[in-house]
């Protein structure tokens, strides 16, 4: 576990009320007098809280109180492992399957617990970034790991909190926020495949403000995506520029105003796909895709009664424009846009005379507008859809050891029938034996994409009669600590049932009859082997079949990872060894504009990484890493090669500015 310092005046990260309030009955709840401990002084503006997550509920919650399966990745984890794309660190999360279509920066999918990639909801700084013009998926190939403070992976159906796209779960990404003295940071690195990265940032904060600005440039010449074993030698490169900005002010003790923005411009070289070009196999070609992403959110949080009642109002926007080129000519344009307006109110109170209970009541109303514009030689589209969502959630903690939650959501859509989803979670702490039990049950919904409903192609026929995909899923697990918390083990069983699954059938999309069944086991372990030596390990078994009994593609039955982290030289030097195993998995071989498809099996593979860092002067570090240490020749997607062994070195410095 780790601790996050938060300004104590921020109500959205507050602890439960210190001083209880009496609520003899529901009729008196609205009129209760909220009395809390005296407000901390400005000199005590920062306090350390238990590890807090913001995705497992509509309010921040301590991880020990979360019933759903959850993994948190910190900035320290990312820096120690020296990963450059978020997708690479997600390989080490239980229940997640990563599929990258070739070299670094190419289209990358992430699946949670066997669900489809577009059934994984991705949020960056409070903005949903699944692309309406890209099959409602998020392309992880464009997401650099620099400037990220925390990643929360919430597994299991979460539509009761987040609506469509959350059948598999939610990946919530939070970029770095300014706090403390103003500092600047610069990092430069280079290495194999003519790869280089430069990252710079400035951030800091005080009692009434917080600012953070970051910029990262990444470039690589890559390798040939088309397999070299088939005579292909042309390298396919990647370029990415990412800019992040977050500004917040607190003009009053009970008012916070926060603005965030993100701009990403990337260009990925690819090779023709057999399904698109009518080829028998992937071959060298001059194909490129240029993508521009713009994301922003404005939010105001106002609290009353010393933080016992808060109101949050915000608006977020995500726009993604992708242009595809063949031999220098523009062949396809796609522009997806999602705008969400939301209002949330939270009420916090305690009833100590009843089981030392701590209560949280939440209500959320939101409107979401999605649009898609596409142009190509096959035709054009200009489509939009609006959805209204209403969420109610209740959380209660009893005796400081039993934590329950229930939530329900109603979605009013202008195309589909209204949908109601729900979720319930429970966590129980038995401190006497250092045991934690956790479990959840929820329903999910995934609306058909605009392309599936109204899209176009050389042979594709849209299907406006498609029904939303639906799911019911549950999990139960036990977390146990041994030897004064030196050893930690968590074992979780999960089960998910999906009906009306949408799949391509010939030249259109249809809802499959029957039920897609997915179940599996997730095991996580961590052990402190010595004062400065830590072991981590994860294993996932996934058994998934569609309604026809066919194994789901790009979901290996067996996924595992192991890591060793060692610090020495009084903590100035660190070594990190990571090993990821991806078992054999099925994939589909398309050809001739998707007219034919056959199922093939991809071989298993092992990816090993060794990273090291040494701080030779206070605030200045040199670092290096070796990727694909075993020089594996592997494919995560049929016909798309990945880089072999590569070495990289760099230097970074952090300096105070004020």
The predicted-structure confidence for 494-524, as pLDDT tens digits, reads as follows: 999 999 988 876 678 888 889 999 999 999 9
pLDDT of residue 273: 64
Range 116-129 average pLDDT: 95
Q: Residues 606-646: pLDDT tens digits?
A: 999 999 999 999 999 999 999 999 999 999 998 888 999 99
CA 224, CA 232: separation in Å to the nearest integer?
A: 7
Range 328-352 average pLDDT: 94
Structure tokens at 75: 């900035």
Range 221-234 average pLDDT: 80
- Longest pairwise C-alpha distance within the chain: 78
Beta bridge partners of 605: 582
CA 396, CA 361: separation in Å to the nearest integer?
A: 9
Range 566-594 average pLDDT: 87
Beta bridge partners of 393: 362, 407
pLDDT of residue 295: 97
The SS3 of residue 415 is coil
pLDDT tier for residue 281 given thresholds of 50, 70 and 90: low
pLDDT tier for residue 596 given thresholds of 50, 70 and 90: low
Beta bridge partners of 496: 473, 518
- Locus of tokens 């901390």: 40
Beta strands in 41-101 (DSSP E): 46-49, 52-53, 61-62, 69-74, 96-100
Structure tokens at 362: 């939440």
The SS3 of residue 327 is coil
Range 584-598 average pLDDT: 71
Closest-CA residue to 31 (of 40, 22, 39): 22
pLDDT of residue 591: 57
570 domain residue, yes or no = no
600 domain residue, yes or no = no
Question: What one-character DSSP code corresponds to residue 254?
Answer: T
Beta carbons within 8 Å of 252's beta carbon, 6+ residues apart: none
pLDDT of residue 278: 47
Closest-CA residue to 19 (of 303, 401, 345, 308): 308
Range 526-540 average pLDDT: 95
Structure tokens at 476: 């139960």
Question: What one-character DSSP code corresponds to residue 449?
Answer: P
Does pLDDT of 321 surpass 50? yes
pLDDT of residue 376: 84
Range 406-414 average pLDDT: 92
Question: What counts of helices (H) and strands (E) characterise the chain?
Answer: 5, 37
The range of the structural domain enclosing residue 223 comes to 53-473+615-656
Does pLDDT of 574 surpass 50? yes
Beta carbons within 8 Å of 55's beta carbon, 6+ residues apart: 123, 152, 154, 170, 172
Pick 649 or 324 by higher pLDDT.
Answer: 649
Does pLDDT of 426 surpass 90? yes
Strands 169-175 and 120-124: parallel
Range 264-291 average pLDDT: 73
130 domain residue, yes or no = yes
pLDDT of residue 285: 65
Lowest mean pLDDT among 232-236, 398-402, 442-446: 232-236
Q: What pTM did the predictor assign? A: 0.90
- Contact status, residue 323 vs residue 290, Cβ threshold 8 Å: yes
Structure tokens at 251: 């003009």
58 domain residue, yes or no = yes
344 domain residue, yes or no = yes
> Residue 125 CA to chain centroid, in angstroms?
11
pLDDT of residue 506: 60
CA 197, CA 333: separation in Å to the nearest integer?
A: 28
Does pLDDT of 49 surpass 60? no
Q: Residues 153-198: pLDDT tens digits?
A: 999 999 999 999 999 999 999 999 999 999 999 999 999 999 999 9
- Torsions phi, psi of 332, nearest 5? -155, 135
Does pLDDT of 14 surpass 80? no
578 domain residue, yes or no = no
Question: What one-character DSSP code corresponds to residue 32?
Answer: -
Range 189-209 average pLDDT: 96
Does pLDDT of 581 surpass 60? yes
Closest-CA residue to 536 (of 515, 564, 510): 564
pLDDT of residue 31: 34
CA dihedral of residues 96, 101, 105, 107 (deg, nearest 10) = -80
Beta carbons within 8 Å of 546's beta carbon, 6+ residues apart: 501, 503, 512, 514, 516, 552
Range 572-595 average pLDDT: 84
- Locus of tokens 């523009």: 330
526 domain residue, yes or no = no
- Torsions phi, psi of 94, nearest 5? -60, 140
643 domain residue, yes or no = yes
pLDDT of residue 502: 87
Pick 331 or 8 by higher pLDDT.
Answer: 331
Pick 414 or 637 by higher pLDDT.
Answer: 637
Buried b (16+ CB within 10 A) or exposed e, 372-407: bbbbbeeeebebebebebebbbebbbeeeebbbbeb
Structure tokens at 200: 């710079």
Cβ atoms within 10 Å of 9's Cβ, excluding its own: 21
Domain of residue 628, CATH code = 2.40.170.20
Please provide the size of the chain in residues.
Answer: 658
What is the total count of domains within the chain? 1
The SS3 of residue 647 is strand
> 487 burial class (0-12, 13-18, 19+ CB within 10 angstroms)?
middle
Q: Residue 455 to residues 252, 277, 332, 507: CA-CA distances in angstroms?
A: 50, 19, 13, 11
- Contact status, residue 275 vs residue 594, Cβ threshold 8 Å: yes
Question: What one-character DSSP code corresponds to residue 324?
Answer: E
CA 308, CA 361: separation in Å to the nearest integer?
A: 11
pLDDT tier for residue 282 given thresholds of 50, 70 and 90: low
CA dihedral of residues 321, 325, 329, 332 (deg, nearest 10) = -50
- Torsions phi, psi of 335, nearest 5? -135, 110
């Amino acid at each position: 576990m780790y601790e996050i310092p938060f300004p104590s005046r921020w109500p959205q990260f507050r602890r439960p009320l210190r001083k209880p309030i009496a609520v003899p009955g529901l009729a008196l709840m609205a009129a209760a007098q909220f009395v809390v401990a005296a407000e901390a002084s400005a000199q005590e503006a920062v306090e350390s809280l238990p590890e807090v997550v913001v995705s497992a509920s509509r309010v921040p919650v301590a991880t020990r109180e979360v019933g759903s399966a959850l993994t948190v990745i910190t900035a320290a984890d990312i820096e120690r492992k020296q990963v450059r794309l978020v997708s690479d660190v997600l390989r080490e999360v239980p229940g997640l399957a990563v599929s990258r279509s070739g070299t670094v920066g190419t289209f990358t999918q992430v699946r949670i617990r066997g669900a489809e990639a577009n059934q994984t909801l991705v949020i960056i700084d409070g903005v949903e970034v699944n692309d309406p013009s890209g099959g409602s998926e998020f392309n992880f190939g464009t997401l650099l790991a620099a400037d990220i403070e925390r990643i929360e992976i919430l597994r299991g159906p979460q539509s009761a909190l987040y609506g469509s796209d959350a059948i598999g779960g939610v990946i919530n990404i939070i970029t770095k926020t300014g706090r403390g003295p103003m500092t600047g940071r610069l990092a430069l690195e280079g290495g194999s495949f003519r790869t280089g990265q430069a990252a710079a940032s400035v951030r800091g904060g005080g009692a009434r403000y917080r600012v953070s600005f970051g910029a990262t440039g990444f470039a690589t010449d890559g390798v040939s995506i088309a397999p070299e074993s088939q005579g292909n030698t042309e390298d396919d490169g990647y370029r990415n520029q990412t800019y992040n900005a977050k500004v917040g002010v607190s003009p009053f003790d009970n008012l916070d105003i926060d603005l965030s923005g993100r701009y990403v411009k990337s260009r990925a070289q690819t090779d023709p796909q057999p399904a698109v070009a009518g080829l028998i196999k992937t071959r060298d070609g001059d194909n490129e895709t240029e993508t521009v992403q713009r994301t922003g959110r404005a939010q105001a949080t106002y609290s009353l009664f010393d933080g016992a009642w808060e109101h949050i109002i915000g608006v977020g926007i995500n726009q993604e424009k992708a242009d595809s080129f063949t031999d220098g000519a523009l062949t396809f344009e796609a522009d997806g846009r999602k705008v969400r307006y939301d209002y949330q109110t939270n009420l916090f109170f305690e009833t100590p005379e009843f089981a030392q209970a701590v209560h949280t009541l939440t209500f959320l109303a939101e409107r979401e507008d999605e649009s898609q514009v596409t142009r190509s030689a096959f035709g054009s589209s200009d489509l939009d859809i609006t959805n209204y969502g209403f969420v109610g959630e209740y959380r209660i903690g009893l005796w400081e050891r039993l934590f329950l939650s229930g939530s329900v959501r109603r979605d009013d859509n202008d195309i589909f029938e209204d949908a109601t989803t729900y979720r319930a979670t429970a966590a129980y702490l038995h401190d006497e034996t250092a045991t934690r039990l956790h479990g959840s049950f929820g329903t999910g919904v995934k609306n058909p994409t605009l392309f599936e409903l109204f899209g176009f192609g050389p042979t594709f026929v849209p299907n406006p009669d498609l029904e939303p995909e639906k799911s019911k899923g549950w999990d139960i697990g036990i977390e146990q600590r041994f030897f004064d918390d030196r050893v930690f083990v968590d074992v979780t069983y999960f089960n998910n049932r999906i009906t009306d699954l949408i799949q391509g059938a010939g030249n259109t999309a249809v809802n499959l009859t029957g039920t897609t069944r997915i179940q599996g086991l997730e095991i996580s372990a961590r052990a402190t082997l010595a004062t400065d030596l830590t072991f981590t390990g994860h294993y996932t078994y996934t058994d998934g079949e569609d309604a026809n009994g066919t194994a789901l593609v790009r979901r290996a039955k067996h996924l595992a990872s192991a890591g060793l982290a060692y610090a020495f030289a009084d903590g100035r030097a660190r070594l990190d060894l990571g090993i990821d195993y991806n078992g054999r998995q099925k994939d589909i071989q398309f050809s001739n504009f998707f007219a034919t498809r056959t199922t093939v099996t991809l071989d298993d593979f092992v990816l090993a990484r060794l990273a090291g860092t040494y701080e030779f002067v206070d605030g200045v570090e040199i670092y290096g890493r070796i990727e694909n240490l075993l020089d594996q020749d592997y494919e995560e997607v049929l016909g798309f090669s990945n880089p072999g062994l590569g070495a990289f070195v760099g230097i970074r410095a952090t300096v105070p500015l004020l």
